[in-house]
Amino acid sequence: MLVIEDAEAIGAAVSSALRESGYDVQHRLDGRQLEADLGRFRPDLVVLDVMLPGRDGFQLLEVIRRSSGAGVVMLTARDGVPDRLRGLSGGADDYVGKPFVLAELVARVSAVLRRLGRTPSTVQVGDLVVDADAGVVMRADQAIELTATELRLLVYLAAQRGRVVSKTQILTAVWGYEDYDPNLVEVHISAVRRKIEEHGPRLVHTVRGLGYVLRADE
Amino acid sequence: MLVIEDAEAIGAAVSSALRESGYDVQHRLDGRQLEADLGRFRPDLVVLDVMLPGRDGFQLLEVIRRSSGAGVVMLTARDGVPDRLRGLSGGADDYVGKPFVLAELVARVSAVLRRLGRTPSTVQVGDLVVDADAGVVMRADQAIELTATELRLLVYLAAQRGRVVSKTQILTAVWGYEDYDPNLVEVHISAVRRKIEEHGPRLVHTVRGLGYVLRADE
DNA sequence: CCGCAATCTGAGGACGAGCTGAAGGCGAGT
DNA sequence: ACTCGCCTTCAGCTCGTCCTCAGATTGCGG
């Protein structure tokens, strides 16, 4: 994944937020090396600022489309309706208006990847199937009703399956909070467990002092 | 609809763009199983790359023409004027030069289908049949009268069936609004429900906090 | 076995999403 | 100009969901 953003602070924040979500991120301040980067890293997706020194976002967008199958999410100025239309008609897969909440950007990025089929929209862990697109969770071929928050939480755990994620990471990814009461996470983890572990062994494991993991034990 | 494209990234992007538009898409990396696919899926249209491993696009085109009435849209190389001529004279219904904007491909695909009069315009969900072209909706073989807006809404939900769509997405797809009062959607959803669920179980499901899904529950 | 901290979980109130009946406005057809 | 149908707005209501809080429980170091 490639982030091209000349404002260093924003670029750094975006990069680290995406890394938090498990993506492999390179950050560039302009599009000079774009062709080289596309060749070398073969990114699945490029986050592209519209306003850039040198070639602007739309020119870069064309380059990307011509020489790569990468998805493109553009960062447009807030009220940039013209920008926005131009970006979409030029083939961007999504846009995010500045200023934005990091969580929103991350959500859109993963939505684009999912749509492009780079990320399987369904994740399977043991006998649990999570389909983010359909908003459906199944265990042992039986549908399970989750609320919106529970679903977001489980989708996040599923995306990070096998990896321990801290409550802070969860708060950021699911709620967009920088720092908050960990009990909020505990309460919703509890709710998810009650529903998905009603008919089967434990899948959401607590790692004391660190966080949680979604894993099917063998 | 069948997409034959050996570049996986492009094939995936094309497939998902077409799915977004409501088509039922199968993706193949080469033409080996072409005959079997034609028999099994009876596609209305095939999107065909020219450069393919094994039999190339023109050979496959002949196969399609010989054993199927499917439309063909060919993906030709950049300045492939010779390709282009050969493709058309060989009987392709349209061609799109790489690189292309996804929206253009989708537009050409639907144009070809329209020209062939073979638009797979009907979607079936449970005992509900939605015919976008004819503007007809039937449930259990009984015609249902919908207003223009209700029809556009239902056609969109039908195209996205099984997938949760947010009110914002609906506002964009049905009304062209970027952002607007969600209640507008709720009112029309309510109207559609009153009509199509009068004699039968629920098909338009609310997913609180996320949006709506058109789905026939088993 | 004890004490502390981390985690779990049941309960309740506040909030807001969603549903729907009603009314006003607008355009097409007569 | 009038009528009719449709679209949109509005307001009231219902009910699900979320968050807070507090007591219970668990795990760990000593």
Q: For residues B73 and B3, give the distance between their C-alpha atoms in angstroms, rounded to a whole number.
A: 10
Does the beta-carbon distance from B163 to A68 stay under 8 Å? no
Q: How many CA atoms lie within 13 A of B49 on its CB side?
A: 23
B16 chain-A contacts, CB cut-off 8 A: 115-117
**Closest CB from A81, A91, A134 relative to B101:** A91
Residue A91 near residue B103, CB atoms below 8 Å: yes
Does the beta-carbon distance from A69 to B213 stay under 8 Å? no
Q: Give residue B218's pLDDT.
A: 59
Chain C nucleotides with an atom closer than 7 Å to a protein C-beta: 6-11, 17-22
**Closest CB from A66, A134, A148 relative to B163:** A134
Work out the number of other CB atoms within 10 angstroms of the CB of residue A140: 11
Protein-to-nucleotide distance from the CA of B150 to the C1' of D5, whole angstroms: 14
Residues of chain B with pLDDT below 50 are 78-81, 83-89
- A-B C-beta contacts closer than 8 Å: 50
pLDDT tens readout for residues B107-128: 678 777 766 655 556 778 888 9
- Beta strand ranges found along A80-198 (DSSP E): 94-97, 122-125, 128-131, 136-139, 142-144
Q: Give residue A206's pLDDT.
A: 95
Protein-strand C interface by C-beta, 7 A:
A 167, 182-183, 186-187, 189-190, 193-194, 206, 208-211; B 167, 182-183, 186-187, 189-190, 193-194, 206, 208-211
- Beta strand ranges found along chain B (DSSP E): 2-4, 26-28, 45-49, 71-76, 94-97, 122-125, 128-131, 136-139, 142-144, 204-207, 211-214
Q: What is the DSSP string of A190-202?
A: HHHHHHHTTTSS-
Place of tokens 């390709």: B83
CA A200 to chain centre: 29
Q: For residues B83 and B136, give the distance between their C-alpha atoms in angstroms, rounded to a whole number.
A: 41
3-state secondary structure of B100: coil
Q: Give residue A208's pLDDT.
A: 94
> pTM for the full model?
0.64
Amino acid at A187: V
Q: For residues A120 and A110, give the distance between their C-alpha atoms in angstroms, rounded to a whole number.
A: 10
Kindly calculate the radius of gyration of chain A based on its CA atoms and give it in whole angstroms: 19
Does the beta-carbon distance from B12 to A151 stay under 8 Å? no
> CB distance from A162 to chain B under 8 Å?
no
What Cα–Cα distance (Å) separates residue B180 from each residue in A99, A127, B185, B210? 19, 40, 9, 16
Q: For residues A99 and B142, give the distance between their C-alpha atoms in angstroms, rounded to a whole number.
A: 50
φ, ψ (nearest 5 deg) of residue A73: -115, 125
Q: Which nucleotide is nearest to B146 (CA to C1')?
A: D6
Residues of chain A with pLDDT below 70 are 22, 67, 77-91, 97-99, 115-121, 218
pLDDT tens readout for residues A139-176: 988 889 999 999 999 999 998 888 899 999 999 889 98
Chain D nucleotides with an atom closer than 7 Å to a protein C-beta: 5-11, 16-22, 27-28
Does the beta-carbon distance from B209 to A90 stay under 8 Å? no
Strand partners, B17: none
Residue A217 near residue A201, CB atoms below 8 Å: yes
Kindly calculate the radius of gyration of chain B based on its CA atoms and give it in whole angstroms: 19
Cβ of residue A184 near strand D, that is under 7 Å? yes
